[in-house]
Amino acid sequence: MSDTHAPAFRRAVVALNGGPSDARIVRLVADHARPIKAELIAIHVVEIDWTLPLDADIAGRSEEVQRVLDTAESVAEDYKMTLEPVLLQARDVGAAIVDEAIERDADLLVVGLPFRKRFGGEFAIGRTIPYILQNAPCTVWVVRDPITEEPS
């Protein structure tokens, strides 16, 4: 495929972490999805620790959690795109994202890599992104935040 062609995908799953990079990756994917009329699914996973039942009423009660998906939906609408928001509760975020992407037959999975400004600034790759990179059956885009100049 030539570099000048838009990357082809039918259905993209965008994993949101509730951080500032969410809007950026939704914009990026929406921008690519619009001309090829691809479907967009946004997933936000709330991790439930083992002290609580998996179906504990946590995510549904949290305005902040709902706002993550609502904001993504709003950003996609700016691009005249419809985004299907999916809110999950799981023990492991990476596994939930990959399993949901498989179930929805996604051919692109997009995750953001946030830049933490504390302690001089570093990319907190954590364990979710490596898990996705190792287990997702489809193409994975990892969108890195820009490095900000002034660590706070």
Question: Which one, 99 or 107, has the nearer CB to other proteins?
Answer: 99
What gap in Å lies between CA 74 and CA 20, rounded to an integer?
14
Cβ(14)–Cβ(29) under 8 Å? yes
Q: Note whether 25 binds other proteins by CB under 8 A.
A: no
Q: Tell me the closest approach of the beta carbon of residue 21 to other proteins, in angstroms.
A: 19
Helix residue ranges per DSSP H, the chain = 21-36, 63-78, 93-103, 128-135
φ, ψ of residue 34 in degrees (nearest 5): -60, -50
Longest dimension (CA), the chain: 51
Question: Which one, 15 or 115, has the nearer CB to other proteins?
Answer: 15
Q: Note whether 138 binds other proteins by CB under 8 A.
A: no
Q: Note whether 73 binds other proteins by CB under 8 A.
A: yes
Binding-residue total with other proteins (CB under 8 A): 34
Footprint of other proteins on this chain (CB under 8 A)? 45-46, 54-57, 59-61, 63-64, 66-67, 69-71, 73-74, 85-92, 95-96, 98-100, 102-103, 135
